[in-house]
Amino acid sequence: MDYKKYLYEGIVNPIIFKDVSVKNDIINNESRHEITWFCQDRSVSDEMIYNLLDDEGINILKNSRDYLSKVNGIISCGKDISKLFDNEVFLSLLVELNDYYYYLNGEQALKFINYCIDNNIDRVISSFNKLNEKSQVYVINNCDMSSFYYELLVGSKLECSKIIVENISSLDNYSYDELLSIFSKDMYIPVRLLSGR
């Protein structure tokens, strides 16, 4: 755990993590877990993480070996890393990760899904369906996802599916298998949606 040699000084002076040699030592460490351990350490503050993973740090991360494993470790560290979601390079790394979105909170998930929509990334639906239920509900309530309702209804979590069902006009275009998937969610389906069936 090489990062620990910077920890005492970093607690007193978090600016140390803005130093390029420190960034390289932690982010480009031989152990792909070094940055995860750094982010998970209880004595590491959010400010230290943001200093390490500023624009320059995120670019170092992007060019490092095993960067997707490192990104996964960062997003699942349990700290408030919401400011990282203001960085488009970091968001592009999340798109490449293409998994493990369960740990994103609502605000993070909203920024990520908006990034996917704004950049015409074709994995909006699959990315959305990998979010946890609370984050799905937060996104569906704070982002116009109506153009995706058809696809989202089948794969989304129960509470999100309930919101979608209240906002669609028909189930006519769903296949038999898709309808089975929807009905298996054990939720109320309004009669108005069943009239064509």
The secondary structure of 84-142 as a DSSP string is GGG-HHHHHHHHHH-S-GGG--HHHHHHHHHHHHHTT-TTHHHHHHTS-HHHHHHHHHH
Average pLDDT over residues 176-197: 73
115-164 pLDDT, tens digit each: 999 999 988 999 999 999 999 999 999 999 988 988 898 888 989 988 98
Residue-level pLDDT at 1: 63
Question: Within a 13 Å sphere around the CA of 135, how many CA atoms are in the beta-carbon half?
Answer: 20
Specify the higher pLDDT residue, 196 or 101. Answer: 101
pLDDT above 70 (res 196): no
Q: Percentage of residues in the chain with pLDDT exceeding 70? A: 97
Q: Which DSSP string do the residues of 36-83 spell out, in sequence order?
A: HHHHH-TT--HHHHHHHTSHHHHHHHHTSTTHHHHHHHHHTSSS--GG
Task: Say yes or no to pLDDT of 22 above 90.
Answer: yes
Q: What percent of the chain has pLDDT over 90?
A: 60
Among 12-26, 93-107, 166-180, the range with the most confident prediction by mean pLDDT is: 12-26
Q: Does residue 187 sit in helix, strand or coil?
A: coil
pTM of the entire predicted model? 0.86
- What pLDDT does residue 52 have? 97
Write down the pLDDT at residue 104: 95
| DSSP H/E element including 34 | helix 34-40
Q: Is the pLDDT of residue 9 over 90?
A: no
